[in-house]
Amino acid sequence: MRIVYASYIWRGALPAGDLEMAQLGSFFRSQSRHQVHKLCIILSKGTLDMAYPAFMLANAAAAMGDEVHVFFTFWGMDVISAKRAGSLKLSPVGNPGLHMPNILGMIPGMTAVATSMIRGKVAKLKIPPVPEMMNTAHDMGVHFHACSTTMEMMGVKKEDLVPEVEDVVGAATFIGMSEGGQIIFI
Alpha carbon distances (Å) from 176 to 68, 179, 181, 185 = 14, 5, 10, 16
pLDDT tier, 2 (very low <50, low <70, confident <90, very high otherwise)? very low
Whether the predicted pLDDT of 8 surpasses 90: no
In tens, the pLDDT along 19-40 reads 555 555 555 555 555 565 899 9
Are 120 and 48 in contact by the 8 Å Cβ rule? The answer is: no
From 47, 72, 63, 37, select the one nearest 185 (Cα to Cα). Answer: 72
Cα distance between residue 120 and residue 57, in whole Å: 21
The pLDDT value recorded for residue 11 is 44
Residue percentage of the chain with pLDDT more than 70: 81
Q: Which amino acid is it at 95? A: N
Q: When comparing pLDDT for 139 and 4, which is higher?
A: 139
List the single range of 58-62, 117-121, 171-175 with lowest mean pLDDT.
117-121
4 has a pLDDT exceeding 50? no
Considering only CA atoms, which of 156, 177, 178, 133 is closest in space to residue 73? 156
Gap between the Cα atoms of 151 and 12, Å rounded = 38
Topology annotation, domain 39-185: Hypothetical Protein Ychn; Chain: A, (3.40.1260)
Three-state DSSP at 95 gives coil
Domain limits, the chain: 39-185
CA–CA dist 65, 35 (Å, integer): 8
